[in-house]
């Protein structure tokens, strides 16, 4: 039966497609969270495999903090256009204005916490009952404990002690009015799996994932791009370096890594050799405390 | 390169978290920043050594209380395999969590403390492994360093466990002496067990044959979603999207759609938009049939000459996972693959003592973590196979319609 063996990427792909179709079968109004980052780009490709030649049974949704990399935003718009699917964008800046929210202050003032407000408002606006996201369990300790179908209350809150047992490949997406489910089709993929999948399927990515020259400042050993969103002080060491991004989040809380990797093969080599985890190397927001992600999730974050 | 999903069964005291930490650490799956984080925490503790167990404690609440709340999933890979570990906690809610983790596992590592040998808990873990039909079992006899790496002690435990395994009908069992804390026999074979003839734990995990566990004989295709573009160019396109959970389908195969019993022929198969001539488990595909028949989510497409049972009275071994007790006569929703139907638990025949295998006949109710044999009646006939024969079409969940919570794991007999 050797001709009937799937390798690990085919198995992961099939599992993710199955999850996508469960969402389509179980929910009335799902949405696919799409930021233009590599994980959400892989989600879009999996959705194409799950539903073509039909249309997606959901729109793409981006909660734009206003602090994103322009390259990722351009990529987001181009991809949505190319595949002819609807893209909904809601801006954190609008929520801040409407709700009179207070922005963080300081050097790397982030809208990371505020985007949860916009997300919950958008869920209410469109009555979304399921939001599909690209979180992976290998990213972070709190994520390692979350279900593939993760039920959130009307405040979007995750309660790790009240999770539904998830058995076999049977997903229980039944919810009460006002609740919603966060669905994570690539839960079982690792960072390296994502890159190997991108390579095998020749998936295009925004240019910032590949080595390029960029003006950065060094902060506690991390390289943060200079931009209008962060405060550069006279004492900061600013220099142009050859960097790439390993993750793409807000410019205020995503760090670049020094690299000369200009193509997927070189990136994969670097990731195999790296001694630092993806979020540890590139996310300033997780460093706040040991339980930063756990706390954000409990408050409705993805 | 393929995937091995395994569960580790044991309590904190057996060194389960240390074993997982050791596997991740020695296979170089731990990154420096993660190690620094646990080093920092280890210093808060007394002995000053890096506590590898901290790698698996995810949530703050757990670290504070020194317990594990829930099943956590961990990942590592070697050039041979990708590994997915379901790490289930060892305290009171153990049955529910181990059943959850075991439901998707190809292999169970059952940890035995060499000082204590086969104890009640070892039996409980083994019973669950057998009920959930996990194809492979590795009995890891840990803390050998605390019994002077004694071959005699190891051999006695192997003899004791073999008796348990025989009574449960467990197949493919391997034994290995280890010291998780010292890393002996985890990644490399250790000279301290010079008398041990087998391979290291990682070597066993890398080489256990799992492709043969897939059933290629009894083809089952639960329909998840119907793709109907309804555009001008694709006016008549009607594709049935789903996963081949077992077996093989070829273009031209005569099929039956259950539970309606309608027959047709496979006219085309697509994978990711490409036409293929056959599909096999566990591929996600789109099937096309030559006849325009009414098929919707929850139906199952099977080979005409290989049918599942289609019945509305089921004998079920049930692991109860609800906080509220199960009472005979209560109604629930039963979900098997993509099919959901109303169901009533008619009768609790017996409750199984997971420590002794003794049966308590006709109990009035069942509580959280109980395993009971029940009779379930469904509102409409459902297509299923016996769990023992075909895990992927014999496992179902019960959902409380009022709370929407998953309250039971059904293994249909």
* pLDDT for res A242: 94
Residue with the larger pLDDT of the pair A108 and A122: A122
Of chain B, the percentage scoring pLDDT greater than 90 comes to 70
Question: What are B289-304's pLDDT values in tens digits?
Answer: 999 999 999 999 999 9
User: Last residue of a domain, which of B303, B331, B359?
Assistant: B303
Task: Give the nearest partner residue to A172 out of B82, B273, B397, using CB atoms.
Answer: B397
Contact status of A98 with chain B (Cβ, < 8 Å): no
Half-sphere exposure of B284 (CA within 13 A, CB side): 27
- For an interface test with A, the pick among B3, B36, B103 (most A C-beta atoms closer than 10 Å) comes out as B3
Under the banding of pLDDT at 50, 70 and 90, the label for residue A1 is very low
The set of residues, in sequence order, having a beta carbon less than 8 Å from that of A145 and lying 6+ positions away, is: A160, A163, B58, B59, B69, B70, B71, B72
Q: Which residues contact B135 (CB under 8 A, 6 or more apart)?
A: B106, B107, B171, B172, B210, B213
- Which helix (DSSP H) or strand (DSSP E) does residue A24 occupy? helix A8-26
The number of folded domains in chain B is: 3
pLDDT score recorded for residue A274? 81
Please determine, for residue A287, whether its predicted confidence score (pLDDT) is greater than 60: no
* B324 and B396 inside one domain: yes
Out of A25, A137, A164, name the one closest to residue B224 (CB). Answer: A25
- CATH code, domain carrying B232: 2.40.30.10
Same domain, B90 and B173: yes
pLDDT band at B401 (very low <50, low <70, confident <90, very high): very high
Q: What ipTM, to 2 d.p.?
A: 0.93
**Average pLDDT, integer, range B387-398:** 96
A2-194+291-298 is classed CATH 3.40.50.150: no
**Side-chain-facing half-sphere of B130: CA atoms under 13 Å:** 19
Report for B89-93, B118-122, B147-151: range of highest mean pLDDT: B147-151
Same domain for B130 and B205, yes or no, is yes
Tokens read off for B294: 């009414």
List, for residues B121-175, the tens digit of each pLDDT value.
888 889 889 999 999 999 999 999 999 999 999 999 999 999 999 989 898 999 9
For residues A302 and A132, the answer to whether their CB atoms sit within 8 Å is: no
- CB distance B31–A142 less than 8 Å? no
DSSP 3-state of A185:
coil
Å between A72 CA and nearest CA of chain B: 26
| Mean pLDDT of all residues in B169-191 | 93
* pLDDT of res. B242: 98
Mean pLDDT of B194-204: 96
Give the tokens for residue A35: 């930021």
The pLDDT tens digits for A38-88 are 999 999 999 999 999 999 999 999 999 888 899 999 999 999 999 999 999
B10-63 pLDDT per residue, tens: 766 778 888 888 888 877 777 777 777 766 766 555 554 566 666 666 677 666
Same domain for B299 and B340, yes or no, is no
- Eight-class DSSP state of A233: P
Say which residue, B276 or B14, is predicted with more confidence: B276
Q: What CATH code is carried by the domain that includes residue B155?
A: 3.40.50.300
CB atoms B100 and A165 under 8 Å: yes
Look at A203 and B49; give whichever has higher pLDDT. Answer: A203
**Smallest CA–CA distance from A12 into chain B, residue:** B3
Q: Give the start-to-end residue ranges of the domains of chain A.
A: 2-194+291-298, 206-286
A73 touching B (Cβ < 8 Å): no
Share of chain A above pLDDT 70, in %: 96
Contacts of B236 in chain A (CB under 8 A): none
Q: pLDDT tens digit string along B316-357?
A: 999 999 999 999 999 999 999 999 999 999 999 999 988 778
Residue A288 predicted with pLDDT over 70: no
d(CA B353, CA B128): 11
A165 closest CB neighbour out of B214, B336, B406 = B406
Q: Per residue in A211-248, pLDDT tens?
A: 999 998 888 888 888 888 888 888 888 899 999 998 88
Which of 106-125 (A) contact B at CB < 8 A?
none
Range of the structural domain that residue B380 is part of = 309-412
The full DSSP string for B158-198 is HHHHHHHHHHHT--SEEEEE-BTTTTBTTSS--GGGTT--S
Average pLDDT score over residue span A262-275: 89
Listed residues B184, B212, B240: the one ending a domain: B212
Contacts of A277 in chain B (CB under 8 A): 31, 33-34
Last residue of a domain, one of B175, B195, B212: B212
The residue-averaged pLDDT of B390-400 equals: 96
**Nearest Cβ partner of B243 from A10, A18, A291?**
A18
- Do B236 and B90 have their domain in common? no
Residue matched to tokens 């439901």: B103
Nearest C-alpha in B relative to A52: B273
């Amino acid at each position: 039966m050797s001709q009937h063996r799937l390798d690990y990427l085919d198995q992961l792909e099939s599992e993710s497609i199955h999850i996508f179709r469960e969402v389509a079968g179980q929910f009335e109004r799902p949405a696919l969270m799409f930021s233009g980052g590599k994980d959400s780009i892989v989600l879009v490709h999996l959705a194409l495999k799950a539903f073509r030649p039909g249309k997606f049974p959901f729109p793409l949704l981006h909660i734009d903090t206003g602090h994103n990399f322009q390259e990722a935003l351009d990529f987001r718009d181009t991809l949505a256009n190319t595949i002819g699917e609807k893209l909904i964008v809601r801006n954190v800046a609008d929520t801040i204005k409407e709700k009179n929210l207070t922005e963080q202050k300081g050097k790397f003032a982030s809208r990371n916490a505020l985007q949860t407000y916009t997300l919950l408002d958008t869920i209410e606006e469109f009555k979304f009952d399921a939001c599909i996201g690209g979180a992976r369990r290998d990213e972070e300790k709190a994520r390692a404990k979350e279900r593939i179908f993760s039920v959130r209350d009307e405040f979007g809150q995750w309660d790790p002690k009240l999770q539904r047992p998830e058995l076999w490949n049977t997903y229980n997406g039944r919810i009460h009015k006002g609740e919603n489910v966060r669905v994570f089709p690539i839960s079982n993929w690792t960072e390296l799996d994502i890159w190997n999948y991108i390579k095998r399927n020749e998936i295009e990515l925004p240019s910032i994932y590949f080595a390029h020259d960029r003006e950065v400042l060094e902060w506690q050993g991390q390289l943060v791009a200079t931009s209008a969103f962060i405060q550069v002080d006279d004492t900061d060491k600013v220099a142009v370096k050859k960097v790439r991004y390993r993750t793409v989040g807000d410019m205020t809380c995503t760090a670049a890594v020094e690299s000369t990797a200009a193509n997927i093969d070189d990136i994969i080599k670097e990731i195999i050799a790296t001694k630092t985890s993806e979020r540890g190397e590139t996310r300033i927001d997780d460093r706040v405390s040991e339980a930063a992600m756990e706390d954000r999730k409990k408050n409705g974050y993805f | 390169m393929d995937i091995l999903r395994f569960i580790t069964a044991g309590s904190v005291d057996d060194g389960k978290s240390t074993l997982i930490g050791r596997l991740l650490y020695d296979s170089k799956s731990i990154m420096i920043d993660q190690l620094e984080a646990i080093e920092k925490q280890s210093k808060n503790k007394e002995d000053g050594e890096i506590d590898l167990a901290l790698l698996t404690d995810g949530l703050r609440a757990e670290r504070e209380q020194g317990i594990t709340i829930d099943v956590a999933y961990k990942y590592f890979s070697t050039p041979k395999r990708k590994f997915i570990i379901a790490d289930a906690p060892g305290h009171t809610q153990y049955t529910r969590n181990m059943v959850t983790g075991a439901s998707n596992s190809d292999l169970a590592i059952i940890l035995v403390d060499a000082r204590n040998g086969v104890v009640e808990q070892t039996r409980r873990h083994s019973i669950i492994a057998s009920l959930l039909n996990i194809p492979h079992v590795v009995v890891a006899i840990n803390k050998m360093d605390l019994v002077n790496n004694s071959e005699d002690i190891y051999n006695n435990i192997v003899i004791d466990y073999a008796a348990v395994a025989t009574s449960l009908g467990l197949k493919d069992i391997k034994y290995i002496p280890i010291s998780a804390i010292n890393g002996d026999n985890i990644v490399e074979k250790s000279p301290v067990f010079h008398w041990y003839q087998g391979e290291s734990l990682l070597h066993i995990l890398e080489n256990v044959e799992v492709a043969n566990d897939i059933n290629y004989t009894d083809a089952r295709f639960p329909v998840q979603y119907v793709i109907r573009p309804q555009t001008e160019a694709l006016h008549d396109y009607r594709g049935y999207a789903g996963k081949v959970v077992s077996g093989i389908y070829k273009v031209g195969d005569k099929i039956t759609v259950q539970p309606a019993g309608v027959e047709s022929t496979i006219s085309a198969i697509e994978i990711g938009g490409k036409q293929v001539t056959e599909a096999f488990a566990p591929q996600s595909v789109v099937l096309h049939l030559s006849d325009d028949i009414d098929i919707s989510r929850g139906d199952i497409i099977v080979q005409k000459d290989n049918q599942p049972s289609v019945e509305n009275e089921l004998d079920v071994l049930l692991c109860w996972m609800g906080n509220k007790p199960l009472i005979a006569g209560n109604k629930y929703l039963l979900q098997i693959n993509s099919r959901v139907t109303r169901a009533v638990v008619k009768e609790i025949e017996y409750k199984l003592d997971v420590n002794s295998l003794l049966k308590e006949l006709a109990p009035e109710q069942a509580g959280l973590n109980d395993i009971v044999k029940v009779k379930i009646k469904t509102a409409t006939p459902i297509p299923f196979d016996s769990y023992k024969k075909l895990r992927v079409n014999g496992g179902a969940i019960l959902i409380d319609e009022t709370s929407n919570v998953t309250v039971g794991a059904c293994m249909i007999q």
